Each structure stands twice: as structure tokens, then as C-alpha cells.
Structure 1
Amino acid sequence: MLTLRQMTYFVALAEQRSFSAAAEVVHVTQPALSQQIKEMEATLGTRLVERLPRDIRLTRAGQVVLERCHEILAMTRNLEAEIRLSKGLTGRLTLGVIPTIAPYLLPRALTRIKSAALDLDMRVREAQTAELVSSVQNGKLDAAVIALPHDTGGLMAQPLFTDHFLLAGSQSRIEALTAQSAPRPTDLSPDALLLLDEGHCLADQALDVCGLKRTRQTVDLGASSLATLCGLVAQGFGLTFLPEIALCSEMAASPDMAVLRFPEPQPERTVALVRRQSTEVKTWFSELAVLLTEAGEELMVAARARA
């Protein structure tokens, strides 16, 4: 009979494409991992892996088994999560947050969560949206905070609050723009825009509201963080879109930066909490959503008082 341990080892091997690397990931010796894979092949009566000099390749049967292992391990993690969180915000909770939200929302949110759920062991992971959605789907995360619109892959999404986009640049550049009628996003020259690099949903959303496509020929794409972007535009290197949630923190870090609001309807994103559809609805999800909403709305109030 196949075991969950064997499936875990096999998935690690398929992902790492190396027995030694896979053994390191699952914290066993290489001979131990190799033996488990051989036993798995013996149980199924077929080869799953072609062993090459410096690589491994899954056989056709191995591809089928890998897909089923992903499904079974995801179901197992889902079951474990439901049991852990069946009594509300207690036990262990794994939460993912995208980089353009995490450094601004988490300090306020975690303080609230800690006060409301003293017995909660929360583990936070910061990653880009596609990775977080995949991790929630396969049970590696219980929930994630992402920004919509974005393909959630069938996950259940609970909107938390609305986060408007502001236009940020140097004092002189913003003053020149406000001396005229306030520009709309579609009025902006692509040559002037600095955006985050590939994989950041904030950049894709900003391009969408400008009616632009993501190409390096039209828009400068390369910064890895909002802090980097804000430092650049504060010194006159173009303009960027700044979400309200980040305004107070980034203006404190880059005091030479100025911002302006777009005319109504202002471009915006919806910050949402997502979970698997299959997860049994318990109080932990709604309790967490309320606490995150309260923290987010506090940040929105502070941002609107400042800009």
C-alpha cells in the first residue's frame, strides 16, 4: 500500500529533479528517499522515474501518479486544516500575503489578531499572488490576502476593503500635473511610468487601468518593491501608482515624494481574503476577515487624511 510519506517524497523528487536535493527538502538521507521511491514503484508495478546521469525524468506512469499525489496530499492537508481550525481562531493558522500589502497591513492586523486570539499560532508567508493561490489550492496555506481583480482559481474570496491607486512622483512633477486639470490614468505617458517587475499583480492592475500592455518597450518594469519605486520617483525618476494602504509608510520613508488623487471614478483594487471552496465554513475565516478589515480601514482613514 502506498503511504503519504512515499507520496511526499515522490512529489519532492519531481519538483527538485534530483535525489539529493529532494532528500534535503524532506529532511532525510538520499538512500532513504531512494528506497522509498523504489518501494513505491514495486507497489505499483511500474517505473515512475528514469534515472539519468545528472537529472531524473518522470515516466508516463510517473506523470499520472504525480497528479494523483498532488490531489491526495492536498486533500490530506485540507482535512488537517479543518480539524485544526474547527473551534475558531485557535491552534495553527498559515496565512499568505502579497508583498504590496504585507508590510503595511500586517503590523496593525497581527496586533489585533494577537489580542483577539491568544492561543493562535499564526505563520505568515509573503509571496506573489500566483504562488499564494496555488498554495491555498493545494493546502499548503489555510488562507491568503490578495488583491482583486485576479484569477483566484476557483477559491472563495471575501472582500476586506477597497484600496485606491494614487499617482506618486517628485514634488515638482506632481505640482506640474496638478497645475492643469487632474490627469486620468489613461492620460499618462507610458514613458513616464515605473512599475514593479514580472509577477506582481499591482503592476498588472496599474497597466490595466491605463489601458496598456506589459512590455518593456512601453513601460519600465523592474523594481522589486514599492519602497524602491517610491525612492526612485521621489528623486524625479518617473511616476508610479501607489496604493493607499502604503501611503503613510512610504511618504515617511521618502519625504520628497508627492502624490495626487485621480478624478472619480478613482482606479482601485479590492483587498480580499481567499480560502478553498472545499474548506468547511467555520468561524475562523469570518473572524480573521473582520480583524483584517478593521486594520485595513484604519490605514485607509489615515491615508485619506494625508492625501
Structure 2
Amino acid sequence: MEITLRQLRYMVALAEEGGFGRAAASVNVSQPALSVQIRELETSLGVELFERRPREVVPTPAGREALIHARRVMEELGELRRISRWRGGLGGRLRLGIIPTVAPYLLPAALPLLRGRDLALDLGVREGQTQALLDELRGGALDAAIVALPIGARDLIEEPLFEDRFLLGGSETQIAALGARPVSPAEMRPDRLLLLEDGHCLTDQALAACALARDSGRLDLRASSLSTLCRLVEEGFGLTLIPELALRVERAAAPGLALRRFSAPEPRRAIGLVRRARSADDGWFSELAQLLSDAGRAEIAHAEALSPPRIAA
């Protein structure tokens, strides 16, 4: 009896759902139909793939080994399907991931460029933290993701888009109290620094820029979004680091937000586009990267107009 793709798909679903009923619902078949396919697969392989317990189903050692190969087959099948989406470059369907500290600032500028390139483009956007996006990218749920670089993974291709410098943000009183001289990130008092909650790469970047540890005694007032942080510091609740990319939007929403450029070299992050190294590419990735880079650089130019960079002496 031959092994079928349907059987492999059902096996993966059963492992992920942990029960025949839930697995059947996830692949839109009846529970008896799924059970029959799993039994036929076990017969073909000559091993028991799952241990049936009263309230759950768990893979056996042989099942865990088989799942590695099944998932690999399903991933390759997904790549074959994705090849048909690209029509000589960027076109067809695109599933794009993007981190929250970039999404609300880059997407409004990038989406018109994408739509102008191909009105028929079927675009899906998933906002999430870096690790979740990389997991979905590796699993085939995303075609590419916009994240902070470097990732440094051998199974991923990275394409830099633009550099995003950090500015110091706070109330007018807080910023004026710093005096007129240039400020270094290393001078930031940890008890006055507000950051995003753990899990956001922007938090790690800000801590690194200020040479601070996670337990450095900073204010226990962390936010889930950059917009919330900007509202808090505008009202005098400490200081925060704000990416240039966000300046136009956040300054418009918080007119009382004061800004200060750091002394050179200004702290910054690199924003880039990543894809799987094994995914097919006939030019769509480079084309997408160029569009995103153009949009990002345009936003950075607006930020420089709002708060001009310091001119080196």
C-alpha cells in the first residue's frame, strides 16, 4: 500500500491537535475517515505511530521520527505550490510578516507601492514579534518577514532595507532638563527609562544602546506598543528611545512630545527582509525588498525634516 500526501497531512494534524476529533475538524474530514487513514499509514510503515490514551493521542518514538519526515515533505509541497504564485517576479499571493514597531509606520507607505505594482496581488499581512514570525516563516505560513537584523540563521536569507536611528523622547520639561549639550545613550538613568514589555526586539536594542541589563532598576512601567510609550513620556513619565521610522506618526499624535538627537555615533537598528533559503525566488524577493526600502527611506527622510541629524564638527 502506497503512502499518500493525505495520510501525511492527517498525521501532522493529529500530532498538532492531540486528538482525533480535533484533528479531523482541522482538516475538514470526519473522525472515522481520519482514523482509517492513520491506520492505513501505520500498516504501510509497519509501526504504531500514535499512542492512544483516554483523553489524548501522543506520538510514539517511531511516530516522532516519522513526523520529522512528514513535515519536511509537507514543507516541500508548500514550496511547489508557492512557485505557481509568482509570475515573473512579485505577483500572485504574498504572505508577509512584520514586527509591531515597524508595521504601523512602514505599511501605510509601502502598501500603495505594492498595490501600484500589481493591483491583483493577493496580500496577507501578519503582525507579530520576531520569534513568532520566524517560526511561521520556517513553517511555510509566511513567504517573507520584515524584522530587525541580523538574524544570523543559516536557513534564512537576509536583505537589509534601511537603517533606523533612535532618538530620545520625553516631555518638554524632561528634555530641557538635559541641557544643550549632546547626550550619549550610556548616560541614560535606568530609573527614568521606559521600554516596551519583554519580547519586543526594540527593548533589547534599547537596552544594548544604553549598555543596560534587564534588571538595571528602570521604571516598572512597560507598554505593549510604541504609541503607548510615547503618550506616557509626553506626560512626563520618564524617557524612551523612539525610532526615526515612528517620528512622523507619533509626533502628530503627541504634539507635546519633545525629541533629542544623541551624540555620534547615534544608536540605530537595521530593518531587513528575510525569507527561507530554500524557497523559490525568481526575482520577487529582490523586488519586494526594493519597494519596502523605498518606503522606509521616505519615512526616514520625513523624520530628518522633523528632527534634523546633528552635523559632525
Q: TM-score, normalised by structure 2?
A: 0.90
One-letter code aligned to 2:236: G
Question: Aligned pair in 2 of structure 1 residues 218, 258: CA closer, same or farther (>3 Å)?
Answer: closer
Question: Aligned pair in 2 of structure 1 residues 79, 180: CA closer, same or farther (>3 Å)?
Answer: same
Shift in Å, 1:186? 1.6
Structure 2 residue matching 1:194: 3-state secondary structure: coil
Shift in Å, 1:152? 4.0
User: Contact 1:133–1:152 (CA<8 Å) still a contact in 2?
Assistant: no
Structure 1 residue matching 2:294: 3-state secondary structure: helix
Structure 2 residue matching 1:182: 3-state secondary structure: coil
In the TM superposition, what whole-angstrom CA distance separates every residue of 1:195-238 from its partner, at most 9, and x where no partner exists?
Answer: 22222111111112222233485564742211121122222222
Query: Who is 1:83 aligned against?
Result: 84
Question: Aligned pair in 2 of structure 1 residues 29, 220: CA closer, same or farther (>3 Å)?
Answer: farther
User: Contact 1:149–1:270 (CA<8 Å) still a contact in 2?
Assistant: yes
Structure 2 residue matching 1:156: 3-state secondary structure: strand
Query: Who is 2:183 aligned against?
Result: 183
Distance in 2 (CA, whole Å) between partners of 1:213 and 1:4 is 49
Shift in Å, 1:158? 0.9
Identical amino acids, percent of aligned pairs: 49
Query: Who is 2:224 aligned against?
Result: 224
Structure 2 residue matching 1:196: 3-state secondary structure: coil
One-letter code aligned to 2:18: R
Structure 1 residue matching 2:47: 3-state secondary structure: coil
Question: Aligned pair in 2 of structure 1 residues 2, 227: CA closer, same or farther (>3 Å)?
Answer: farther
Query: Who is 2:251 aligned against?
Result: 251
Query: Who is 1:47 aligned against?
Result: 48
Distance in 2 (CA, whole Å) between partners of 1:55 and 1:290 is 48
1:208 matched to 2:208: yes
User: Contact 1:73–1:138 (CA<8 Å) still a contact in 2?
Assistant: no
Shift in Å, 1:277? 1.6
Which structure: larger Rg? 2
Distance in 2 (CA, whole Å) between partners of 1:279 and 1:235 is 47
User: Contact 2:244–2:300 (CA<8 Å) still a contact in 1?
Assistant: yes
Question: Aligned pair in 2 of structure 1 residues 236, 122: CA closer, same or farther (>3 Å)?
Answer: same
Query: Who is 1:121 aligned against?
Result: 122
Question: Aligned pair in 2 of structure 1 residues 182, 33: CA closer, same or farther (>3 Å)?
Answer: farther
1:241 matched to 2:241: yes
Structure 1 residue matching 2:266: 3-state secondary structure: coil
Query: Who is 2:199 aligned against?
Result: 199
One-letter code aligned to 1:203: T
One-letter code aligned to 1:238: G
Distance in 2 (CA, whole Å) between partners of 1:65 and 1:299 is 48
Q: TM-score, normalised by structure 1?
A: 0.91
Question: Aligned pair in 2 of structure 1 residues 218, 176: CA closer, same or farther (>3 Å)?
Answer: closer
Query: Who is 2:162 aligned against?
Result: 161
1:1-307 equivalent positions in 2, closer than 5 A? 1-152=2-153, 154-177=155-178, 179-215=179-215, 218=218, 220=220, 222-307=222-307
One-letter code aligned to 1:205: Q
Aligned length in residues: 306
Distance in 2 (CA, whole Å) between partners of 1:301 and 1:285 is 24
Structure 2 residue matching 1:223: 3-state secondary structure: coil
- Which runs of no fewer than 5 residues in structure 1 stay unpaired? none
Distance in 1 (CA, whole Å) between partners of 2:92 and 2:221 is 41
User: Contact 1:133–1:153 (CA<8 Å) still a contact in 2?
Assistant: no
One-letter code aligned to 1:45: G
One-letter code aligned to 1:211: A
Distance in 2 (CA, whole Å) between partners of 1:299 and 1:168 is 18
User: Contact 1:158–1:272 (CA<8 Å) still a contact in 2?
Assistant: yes
